[in-house]
Amino acid sequence: MRPAERAQLALLLEVAATPTPGNVDRHRDHDDLRFAHLLAGAVGAGDGLEAAADGEPVGVAFERAVEGMAAAQSAGNTQFGALLLLVPLVRASADGAVTPDAVSSVVEATTVADAAAFCRAFEAVAVGLDEPPAALADVDVRQPQAAAAAVEDRRLTLAELMARSADVDGVAREWTTGFDRSFAAAERLRGGEGHLTDRAATAFLELLAAEPDPFVVKRHGVEAAERASEGARAVLAGEREADELAASLVQAGVNPGTTADLLAAGLYIALERGETV
Amino acid sequence: MRPAERAQLALLLEVAATPTPGNVDRHRDHDDLRFAHLLAGAVGAGDGLEAAADGEPVGVAFERAVEGMAAAQSAGNTQFGALLLLVPLVRASADGAVTPDAVSSVVEATTVADAAAFCRAFEAVAVGLDEPPAALADVDVRQPQAAAAAVEDRRLTLAELMARSADVDGVAREWTTGFDRSFAAAERLRGGEGHLTDRAATAFLELLAAEPDPFVVKRHGVEAAERASEGARAVLAGEREADELAASLVQAGVNPGTTADLLAAGLYIALERGETV
């Protein structure tokens, strides 16, 4: 299996893992996002992931992956954040073993053109976007072409753009830390007992227990995100049923999307390191 | 989405459809075959499906698809029969719209080399093979290389080889009938109410209700296969719960594998004709 195929499989195993409370999983659909959408998104992202493996620029590969993902199904954004982690990881794998140093090198090598392509990728999806942080007021991806022009004017590389969002965006933060939570997730997945999808569900809870989900913080505030993390800790401690937590998060419209992205990245790294199904 | 991607998605949607009594589906694993194996098999088959779309010989494309499927996961044969339907269908799509005539032309154009490649594909999988029919006593795919040599000696094309198995193998029979049950399944899937995966589960029951599953006939005899079809009819008539039928088939070790293959083929045709998720 090639790196791009492993990345597709990581996307599929992430959504197959259950329960991942608050998110669509093997046993849960949302009204506006269903399991089949995520299967199709993973298929559609394939060409962009192959481009990353073939050494295409990270921005171009990411834009292609997002376009393919969006064209493959009708639910819009299914795996944007996961692909923003997977594309540099796959690119790193193309040059050798995937390590924090290798993916950091990929990040550091990104260019202004990569940043512009990243902005244009938003043309393909309605990610439910907020206003940009003040330091990026002119890089408003709700207007993708204008944002691309702005990063070109300001000569921002994709690494620099990510660094400016790292305090509010958990995926961007990975770009600034050598993907530390992604690699930590991979370590949790490696070599444990039981099937990989079951270990993935546990890793999801552990990721959520360890830190409030940044996507939930953005959407619902810090308190809601901390409550979700408390819920995950309670499930891991055997004090609460995962299904009950899932039901309460779904009812509140709380979906820990960044935690799912990190799990997909961790699954990819684990597969690259020899994990199998 | 390209034809090969649609074929991958068809494999994924087939296993996501639930309930498909007796088979692995979104809500059921078997001890020796789990949902994750089928996800990985679909990913691994991608290169062979792309080869079919690119105009590679049907036998070569099929062999590559099966090898990729088998290498991607540890459960052996996951989608052999479905790929034996999908490869000629994808090949037909490469030349224009997928129709019974188009796929019949692909079948008729198969060669002795295609037949030999088909035999060699068995190297990659332990499909749980019986003795060959008497008319094919020397084409025993339990010895793939010898079988390949035998079809070359006898100058059998892949179409001729399929025709000789059509009375006992439901996939081979499709090759002799312009894929009539596959196209019929696609018609059932098109334009109905509800989500495509739900319509797929209904189509599975309708296929099983209409004819005893040939794979079940081979494994468990005609009576067991007819009981499974009666069960499907009872579920469709509202006289029996699908989950109860599923439990009883799993307990008896009865999995209607050919019916699943036909559903995957029908899903592919429906996607080619504009069905979306």
Q: What is the DSSP string of B138-194?
A: T--TTSHHHHHHHHHHHT--HHHHHHHHTTT-HHHHHHHTTSHHHHHHHHHHTT-SS
- Rounded to whole angstroms, the Cα distance separating B173 from B176 reads 5
Q: What pLDDT sits at residue B193?
A: 85
Q: How far is A28 from chain B (nearest CA, A)?
A: 10
Helix axes B180-189, B257-272, angle to 10 degrees: 60
Q: In 3D, which of A246, A179, A247, A177 has the Cα closest to residue A208?
A: A246
B34 touches chain A (CB under 8 A): yes
- State the count of interchain CB pairs (< 8 A) between A and B: 82
Residue A249: CA count within 13 A, CB half-sphere: 32
Residue whose entry in the numeric block shows the structure tokens 């090949």: B91
> With an 8 Å Cβ cutoff, are A1 and B46 in contact?
no
Q: What pLDDT sits at residue B129?
A: 75
> With an 8 Å Cβ cutoff, are B39 and A12 in contact?
yes
Confidence band of A130 (pLDDT split at 50, 70, 90): confident
Q: What pLDDT sits at residue B157?
A: 98
> With an 8 Å Cβ cutoff, are B276 and A73 in contact?
yes
Q: What pLDDT sits at residue A134?
A: 81
Q: State both tokens at B270.
A: 């429906």
Three-state helix/strand/coil letters over B187-226:
HHHCCCCCCHHHHHHHHHHHHHHHCCCHHHHHHHCHHHHH
Exposure string of A208-228, with b = 16+ CB inside 10 Å and e = fewer, is bbebbbbbbbbbbeeebbebb
Angle ∠(A35,B79,A71) on CA atoms, nearest 5:
40
Residue of A30, A34, A277 best to disrupt the B interface, most CBs of B under 10 A: A277
Low-confidence winner among A124-128, A258-262, A265-269 (lowest mean pLDDT): A124-128
- The percentage of chain B sitting over the pLDDT mark of 90, rounded to a whole number, equals 91
Q: What pLDDT sits at residue A53?
A: 97
**What ipTM, to 2 d.p.?**
0.96
- Rounded to whole angstroms, the Cα distance separating A172 from B14 reads 35
Q: State both tokens at B227.
A: 């009981």
Residues of chain B falling short of pLDDT 50: none
By residue count, chain A amounts to: 277
Q: How far is A138 from chain B (nearest CA, A)?
A: 34
A27 touches chain B (CB under 8 A): yes
pLDDT tens for A150-193 read 999 999 999 999 999 999 999 999 999 999 999 999 999 997 78
A196 touches chain B (CB under 8 A): yes
Chain A residues inside the 8 Å CB shell of B40: 9, 12, 277
Is residue A128's pLDDT more than 70?
no
β-partners of residue A28 are: A25
Q: What is the mean pLDDT of residues A213-222?
A: 95
Average confidence score pLDDT of chain A: 95
- Rounded to whole angstroms, the Cα distance separating A82 from A69 reads 11
**CA dist list (Å): B214 to A149, A197, B96, B127, B254:** 61, 32, 31, 15, 12
- Contact (Cβ atoms closer than 8 angstroms) between residue A174 and residue A269: no
| Beta-carbon count within 10 A of B49 CB | 32
Q: How far is B239 from chain A (nearest CA, A)?
A: 26
- The percentage of chain A sitting over the pLDDT mark of 70, rounded to a whole number, equals 99
B30 touches chain A (CB under 8 A): no
Average confidence score pLDDT of chain B: 95
pLDDT tens for A25-80 read 999 999 999 999 999 999 999 999 999 999 999 999 999 999 999 999 999 999 99
Q: What pLDDT sits at residue B197?
A: 96
Task: Tell me which residue in B5, B195, B196 faces A44 most closely, judged by beta carbons.
Answer: B5
pLDDT tens for B226-245 read 999 999 999 999 999 999 99
Q: Whole-prediction pTM value?
A: 0.97
